[in-house]
């Protein structure tokens, strides 16, 4: 019998990363395709996997909002995404022809799983992975399983404390205006200063402290509401030099010594960290989901 | 062989509720003792249980902060509580003589468990129970197990948006000043207006909307970070007429239609509710923990 193969998809708003791995998770083949409409992107995705059929399990870490409840009839279906054409699109329909069990989770949960297995989250019982980019989202894993409820977490939409004197920008979230994503995502930074954060910092000395202050509200909230072993902050905005350090300092100041645990080291230098896998976290997590689909036989 | 008996403790800052139940959870005997120092209260608690020995399992739902990690050497030990004499006190030391397996969780997790089993949380996969009284705390259960990480949740210390023009009160949390507990707990209300909220509302028309606004920040944060099926709000402050209704309205306005799910009914009338068990939620949950201790044999 041939080696069992795993399919994996990291589905983002601009690109899909596809991979086929052996049962041990070693990548055999990978590809990158543009995210267009489901009618264009899904067949291209399916064709890639068809070349490696049969697959024994498929794992998907996707942008959302998407139904990630395996017990739901809509499992794997995009729900209210504003991305044209994607509401109602379903991974299972596109991949049903392959006959493999499929597990679907969010992009941030997938990245969290990748970092937990092979990156900066190894050994953590409770891990929070946040991405700060086009959007802001957090995946929380406990013992390797993502936390959620009637849907996946939406941590990017908490409302940070805002001082209009310091920051007159009203925010750009179409639902909430000045929620965290409305104030501190990449597009919010461009809207406010006209340039990315590293550029803005050259002419606005408060730019990095301001964004760090908003993100610290999320970090503190994650600590108080999930008590993770570690917080990983990744995504394009977090690559801005000095931002991670500023986030650590503000988070520590806000916590004010209230949460006492050896994991919260002085300066939070090991408590709040960058991802270790860089751009490979998502596909690593998707492969792990595919391996889990194989073990559990879920479809 | 005699019927197996369960011991249960709801340990609060002013009183301990003690109960002995049969293996099916029916209460056989109960008592209420004042919370003084551990040297006084613990022997009185142990003497009550000794009269019903042997016990097959003991469940404890306690005020905190307290170590609730069964794998920790300090399991069942109060940590940094400001309550004189209680830091370092350990339930297991007081109850070791009974030879029964013991499970310890927080008071809010215990109340959540009680409501989940027999009250307003029945049938919920993910349930958040918040108490607003001397302190503010939330217990989140998923499939009947309390969520936490390196410690139990500390949701009362999130920082709500505050407008000093509207509310000049600076907050009373010794760690954070104007965190939620510092602004909206019973003692914060007394500090600000000199009287409980129902009295304050007579001369300050904004009192209930203001407190509801702070609590809505917690409700929204719980939705975004845990996606519960339902939020239960209990505790002394929540008995103020009109507060629950105001909290529902403000929470719905803040969410602004972003989270779409049948559970979030119009007006959140069934989504945000009062407890159904009233003062019995905690001891009901403690009995359930004792039954679990019996099943799992944990000590």
The ipTM, to two decimals, is 0.96
Helix (H/G/I), strand (E/B), else coil: B117 = helix
Q: A80, B158: Cβ pair inside 8 Å?
A: no
Residue B298 pLDDT greater than 80, yes or no: no
Binned at pLDDT 50, 70 and 90, residue A126 comes out as very high
Q: Cβ contact (<8 Å) for A150 and B227?
A: yes
DSSP string, B263-287: TS-GGGTTTEE--SSGGGHHHHHHH
Q: List the single residue in A with minimal CA-CA distance to B150.
A: A227
DSSP string covering A163-207: -TTT------BTTTBSSHHHHHSHHHHHHHHSS-HHHHHHH-TTH
CA distance B60 to B285: 8
Handedness of CA B97, B103, B107, B113 (dihedral sign): negative
Say yes or no to pLDDT of A2 above 70.
Answer: no
* Chain length of chain A: 299
Phi, psi dihedral angles at A260 (to 5 degrees): -110, 115
Of A198, A205, A207, A135, the residue nearest A172 (C-alpha)? A135
pTM to 2 decimal places: 0.96
* Cα–Cα distance, B227 to B116 (Å, whole number): 16
Q: pLDDT value at position B2?
A: 60
Torsion, Cα of A57, A61, A64, A68 (10° steps): 50
pLDDT band at B62 (very low <50, low <70, confident <90, very high): very high
Chain A hits for B150, CB-CB cut-off 8 Å, are 125-126, 227-229, 261, 263
Is B84 in the A-facing interface, judged by CB distances under 8 Å? no
The tens digit of pLDDT for each residue in B220-246 reads 999 999 999 999 999 999 999 999 999
The helix, strand and coil proportions of chain B, stated in percent and rounded to the nearest 5, come to 40, 20, 40
Q: Do A153 and B224 touch (CB under 8 A)?
A: yes
Task: Kindly state the average pLDDT of the residues A248-257.
Answer: 97
For residue A41, give how far its alpha carbon lies from the nearest alpha carbon of chain B (Å): 27
Q: Is B126 part of the contact surface with chain A (CB cutoff 8 Å)?
A: yes
pLDDT band at A84 (very low <50, low <70, confident <90, very high): confident
DSSP B9: E
Confidence (pLDDT) at A42: 97
Average pLDDT, chain A: 95
B81 pLDDT tier (thresholds 50, 70, 90): confident
Q: What is the mean pLDDT of residues A263-292?
A: 96
Mean pLDDT of B164-189: 96
């Amino acid at each position: 019998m041939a080696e069992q193969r795993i399919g994996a998809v990291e589905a983002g708003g601009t690109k899909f990363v596809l991979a086929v791995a052996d049962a041990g998770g070693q990548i055999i083949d990978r590809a990158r395709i543009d995210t267009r409409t489901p009618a264009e992107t899904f067949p291209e995705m399916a064709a890639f996997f068809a070349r490696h059929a049969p697959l024994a399990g498929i794992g998907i870490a996707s942008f959302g909002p998407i139904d990630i409840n395996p017990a739901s009839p809509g499992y794997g279906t995009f729900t209210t995404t504003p991305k044209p054409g994607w509401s109602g699109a379903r991974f299972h329909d596109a991949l049903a022809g392959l006959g493999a069990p499929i597990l679907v989770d969010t992009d941030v949960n997938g990245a969290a799983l990748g970092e937990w297995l092979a990156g900066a989250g190894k050994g953590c019982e409770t891990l929070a992975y946040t991405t700060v980019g086009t959007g802001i989202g957090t995946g929380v894993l406990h013992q390797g399983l993502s936390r959620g409820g009637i849907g996946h977490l939406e941590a990017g939409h908490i409302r940070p404390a805002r001082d209009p004197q310091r920051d007159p920008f009203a925010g750009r979230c179409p639902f909430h205006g000045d929620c965290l994503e409305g104030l501190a995502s990449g597009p919010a930074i461009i809207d406010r200063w006209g340039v990315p954060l590293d550029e803005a910092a050259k002419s606005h000395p408060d730019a990095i402290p301001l964004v760090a202050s908003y993100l610290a509200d999320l970090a503190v909230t994650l600590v108080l509401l999930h008590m993770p072993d570690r917080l990983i902050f990744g995504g394009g905005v977090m690559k801005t030099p000095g931002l991670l350090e500023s986030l650590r300092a503000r988070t520590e100041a806000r916590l004010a010594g209230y949460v006492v645990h050896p994991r919260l080291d002085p300066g939070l230098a090991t408590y709040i960290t960058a991802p270790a896998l860089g751009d490979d976290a998502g596909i690593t997590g998707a492969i792990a989901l595919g391996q889990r689909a194989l073990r559990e036989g879920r479809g």
